[in-house]
Structure 1
Amino acid sequence: MKSPRVLLCVRQNTLRWDGEPSSLCCSSCCVLRCFDDRAAAARVNQHAHGRGTRTSLVRHGDPRVRLIAAHRSPLTALFSARGLQQITRQQQSPATQRRMRQQVSSEPQGVAEDILHLSAWLARQPHLPPVDDLLLDRFLYNCKYSLSRCKSVLDMYYTVRTAVPEFFKHRDATEDSIRRSCEVTLAAALPRLTPAGHRVFVHRLLDADSRRFDLLAHSRRVFMLVDVLLHTEPVLGAVVVLDLHASTWAHVLRAPPPLLRRLAVCFQDSCPIAIKEIHFVNAPGFIRKFLDIIRPLLKKKLNERVHVHTGGLETVGKSLPLHMLPKEYGGEEKSLKELSDAWQLALERRRDWFKAEELKRVDESLRPGAAPERAQLFGVEGSFQRLAVD
């Protein structure tokens, strides 16, 4: 007998139990996957009460209840701490929703089977930490339901966190180095998605004094932001914008190639959010020399997605409509400073979550087979090898 599902309809503001696919009443009706959890029952009841939703209260242990990992749900508020949904709202046009569905197609039953498969696979990987269903759902979605890619990214996601603690330890947004980074660089995910359904990350250098630029602190901050998004919403892909209007060659010299190599591996091989485009805007005259340094670190496909603009963000074109940009770029959103400050506050509020997350690392002594050496992951003396994972 199939377990009933929780159905949440945003349009009709209803929450109910059912097990038939035909019960989905419209495109705003979401299937909420379930697992038996005391917090799940409380959260469903709280959400129902807060929205005036028509449903009976549920109890821990009720076989109908299992939680809330909404497959392609537009309600980030259901999984986010209060206020975060205001800076990650998904304002999708019907055309954008159609394009996103075309790029990722999987039936709810197939998703559940894939998660069971991954759970069984994880049980045979004693070196990996426990991974809950919600995060597995995010990884599957972001990997377009490719089980092989999902396994590879999952393994690398935790492996690099152990191998490069400089990026993934001391993840406290109230730390002095992080706060100094906020004074020198702005970093934010824009509230609106692109027409293709991608999330846009904008980074802007503010200070021409290279002595104040700390790439390591900025990188830790960016990885924290990405982790919050990963646990908040399904992300089909990312568009990365680097505004270099205050950059100098001295800033480049503070980014040694070994550090850039480790960054490249972390973003390309261990992050489930695929980078669809990289735009350098307000590019300085030395941008070509800088690209000569980083292109060997990028995979061929990503190299083809790098674009250079001598003008501002408003010159990027159709992939980033003007209305979705911060107001200093001629858009309708809040300023990038306001958005960056909002994200910094979101990171600070998750201080305890990040502290707990730091405990979820790989135990290489338990890995089946030989543990990868750091040189295997990141290369030595200019070589660039990658770990292959089943």
Structure 2
Amino acid sequence: MNQIQENSHSTIPSEVLSRAKKEIGEDDERKDATLKIIKEWLKKQPHLSCSQDDRFFLMYARGCKYSIEKIKRKIDLCLTMRALLPEIFSGWDAMSPNIQNALKYGIMLPLPGFDHLGRKVFVYRMGCFPPEKVKVEDLEKASGMVAEVLAYEEPVIFITGVVVIVDFDGYTLSHLTHRPLSFMKKQAKYFQDAGPASPKSINFIRTPTAFNAVYNLVMGIFNDKMKQRVKVHGSDFESLYKEVPKALLPSDYGGQGPSFVQLTDSWKKKVEKNREFLLQQQKYVADESKRQGKPRTTEELFGIEGSFRKLTVD
């Protein structure tokens, strides 16, 4: 496969770049012009501390189909929400005991390769951990770190999209109470409104009775476009195979890919390898005291119910 160098760290296949030109109008001239405009705009936003890595800006440029105003809104919202969610986006030290403990469960696992439509598939395992042995905040920090590494290593996902499998195997009432609905609401809001990658398909599998509360919450938050992309397969793996090629799936699902144990070990090592990068990434947030105009609040963005305490992070 022909590879075109995006920068010193990542490559995008030439056929995917051709697809980007056709679907979102990307070419070198538009890309360079957009990067210049966004970087100039950021200089006038004293409240935003932002990575200057072109890959960050291109995530949003591609995810927003090169709409300049939408890119600005999304970057601002991303950094604002990250500042208001320290329970997810701070304490990103891969070698700290709490993160080491969380990583060993493999709650969020991107799968190797891409599906038949060029999309990245990842599995989010809601019941794979003992609730009494790990904090929900640590699990979400670890998941956020995995997602951050994936985003920078595989920029193709912002052109082709992602597919999410949410696996409820082992999910109990203890897991539901371990992760308050207010927490899940915040996660879903960030995922839908501030994340640069738009999921093309969200697949719920192995769903127990306790799943209903989660499903109702998520569907109450998602916009109409996202709702149409949700599929509930239950325990019907043949139904899942119609959405995600069997060959790509982990051996745990009857597929030909690596097992969950192998994937967990692989991603734990990858996060550890990127420790310094992740420590830097956690610093990129909004400072509401410097915002020109009215500061944005947790209540405004997430609703007043279930507001979280601010966590002390060392």
Query: Which range, TM-score by smaller chain?
Result: 0.7 to 0.9
Equivalent of 2:191, from 267, 278, 289? 267
Kept after mapping to 2: 8 A contact 1:99/1:196: no
Aligned pair 1:295/2:219, yes or no? yes
Show the counterpart of 2:122.
201
How far 1:206 moved relative to its partner?
5.6
Count of residues in Structure 1 that have an aligned counterpart in Structure 2? 303
Deviation of the 1:117 alpha carbon: 1.1
> Is the 8 Å Cα contact of residues 127 and 175 (structure 2) preserved in structure 1?
no
Give the conservation status (yes or no) of the 8 Å contact 2:185–2:217: no
1:352 to 276, 279, 291: 276
The one-letter code matched in structure 2 to 1:216 is E
- Greater helix content: 2
In structure 2, what is the equivalent of residue 309 of structure 1? Answer: 233
1:178 and 2:152 matched: no
d(CA) in 2 for partners of 1:297, 1:212: 29
Normalising by structure 2, report the TM-score. 0.86
**Cα distance change, pair 286–165 in 1 and its aligned pair in 2 (3 A):** closer
The one of the two structures with greater contact order (alpha-carbon pairs below 8 A, sep at least 6) is: 2
1:51-83 CA distance string (max 9 Å, x none): xxxxxxxxxxxxxxxx6587x7239xxxxxxxx
- Which residue of structure 2 aligns with residue 231 of structure 1? 152
For the pair 1:135 / 2:56, whether they are aligned, the reply is yes
Report the 3-state secondary structure (helix = DSSP H, G, I; strand = E; otherwise coil) of the residue aligned with 1:309.
Answer: strand
Are residues 312 and 328 of structure 1, via their aligned partners in 2, closer, same or farther at CA, if it must alter by over 3 Å? farther
- Superposed displacement of residue 124, structure 1: 1.5
Aligned partner of residue 316 in structure 1, secondary structure: helix
**Equivalent in the alignment of 1:369:** 293
Could you report, residue by residue, the CA deviation over 1:96-125 in whole angstroms, capped at 9, with x for unpaired residues? 887666433311111111111111211221
Instruction: Pick which of 301-310 and 208-217 moved more.
Output: 208-217
2:252–2:260 CA contact under 8 A, matched in 1? yes
Counterpart of 1:220 in structure 2 is 141
Q: Is the 8 A contact 2:104 2:265 kept in 1?
A: no
Q: TM-score, normalised by structure 1?
A: 0.70
Tell me: CA distance 1:299–1:216, structure 2 relative to 1, closer, same or farther (3 Å).
farther
Residue 79 of structure 2 is aligned with which of 158, 163, 179? 158
- Residue 214 of structure 1 deviates from its aligned partner by 3.3
Once residues 239 and 187 of structure 1 are traced to their aligned partners in structure 2, the CA distance between those partners, rounded to angstroms, is 13
Question: How far apart are 1:342 and its partner, in Å?
Answer: 0.6
Choose which of 91, 108, 113 in structure 2 pairs with 1:187: 108
Identity %: 27
CA RMSD, aligned part only?
2.7
Residue 312 (structure 1) shift: 5.5
The CA deviation at 1:382 is 8.2
Q: Match of 2:75, as an amino acid?
A: L
Give the drift of 1:367.
1.4
> 1:20 maps to which residue?
none
- The change in CA–CA distance for 1:317 and 1:103 in structure 2 (over 3 A counts) is farther
Q: Is the 8 A contact 1:178 1:221 kept in 2?
A: yes
Q: Contact conserved, 1:243 with 1:312, CA < 8 A, in 2?
A: no
Q: Which has the larger radius of gyration?
A: 1
Flag the 1:380–1:367 CA change in 2: closer, same or farther, 3 A.
Answer: same
SS state at 1:340 partner = helix
Return closer, same or farther for 1:187/1:120 CA change in 2, 3 Å cut-off: same
CA deviations on 1:195-240 (whole Å, 9 max, x unpaired) are 2222111123565754345332221111111111222222132211
- Contact 2:109 2:267 (8 Å CA) reproduced: yes
* SS across alignment from 1:191: coil
Deviation per residue, 1:133-161 (Å, 9 max, x gap): 23212321233222222111111121112
Change in 2 beyond 3 A, CA 1:151/1:74: same
Aligned to 1:105: 25
